[in-house]
Amino acid sequence: MTLEIITSDALTPIRHGFFTRRGGASSGIFAGLNCGMGSTDQHEAVTINRTRVADAMGVHLDALMGVHQIHSPDAITVTTPNTDRPKADALVTNCPGVALSVLSADCQPVLFADTKAKVIGAAHAGWKGALGGVLESTLDAMEALGATRENIHAVIGPSISQSAYEVGPEFFEDFIAQDQSFARFFAQGDGDKFQFDLPALGLHRLRQAGVGHAEWTRHCTYADADRFYSYRRATHHKEADYGRLIAAITLGPAV
């Protein structure tokens, strides 16, 4: 099976992609394109998968840059290909020859591009990161490289949708304690439960931050097991682990 890559016209002509699980070498519960080195999948299979992603991005495997994701608001600036994986949840660059990548399995993978300034970014934004400011940190780091906020386009890739994201009353109350207007991201669920709209939160934060364009691809990771990994679905099925999807963006080969 060949790789399946979801793209957005909003980021064209920058090479980018939200990769589904199709076209990978992993098997079992990881079947497909599991790119998570932190999973219990076979290291060799994950390396093959990541190599296929690097090839699709037109870079060497060592230039497929990522971070050790910790649900933080932190963004780093990448200047050269390296094998470091600092603790952070977003990356930005204005350098050709590298591909920025983030992993996800329900959280929001977000790709950014200012095509005029030739500055790109990638962020991992779960509810904690989005609330903590990782999207705004990415924009700040891009601006430091010469991007202009109103010229930045941001696209949220496959994420868990509101219909699949049930949360308890404590989750709802914690959000409302921070800002009463956050009630807009919740719908009443069964009993005392709520349905949380993570992509709506992401879009709100991006638009409030002043980006020129923000969109969600409208793919739900939980609902489509054939195409996407999902932490919550794996938990509900009592599986021992879960695969990680990858999203990547690059300015192209070094000149």
For the cut 90, the answer to whether the pLDDT of residue 127 exceeds it is yes
Structure tokens at 103: 């992993």
Percent of the chain with pLDDT over 70: 100
Q: Per-residue pLDDT tens for 91-118?
A: 999 999 999 999 999 999 999 999 999 9
Mean pLDDT score, 11-31: 97
Residue 253 pLDDT grade (very low, low, confident, very high; cuts 50, 70, 90): confident
Q: How many CB atoms lie within 10 A of CB 179?
A: 10
**Rounded-to-integer distance, Cα 99 and Cα 148, Å:** 21
* Sheet bearing 166-167, strands edge to edge: 166-167, 194-196, 186-188
pLDDT at 255 over 70: no
What is the tens place of the pLDDT at every residue in 36-88?
Answer: 999 999 999 999 999 999 999 999 999 999 999 999 999 999 998 887 899 99
Compute the mean pLDDT over every residue in the chain, rounded to the nearest whole number.
97
Crossing angle (nearest 10°) for helices 134-144 and 198-208: 40
pLDDT of amino acid 249: 98
Delineate the domains of the chain, giving CATH numbers in brackets.
5-161+197-250 (3.60.140.10)
Over residues 171-179, the mean pLDDT reads: 93
pTM: 0.97
pLDDT of residue 82: 81
Q: Supply the pLDDT for residue 81.
A: 87
Cα→Cα distances 174→50, 128, 130, 166, 231, Å: 37, 11, 14, 15, 22
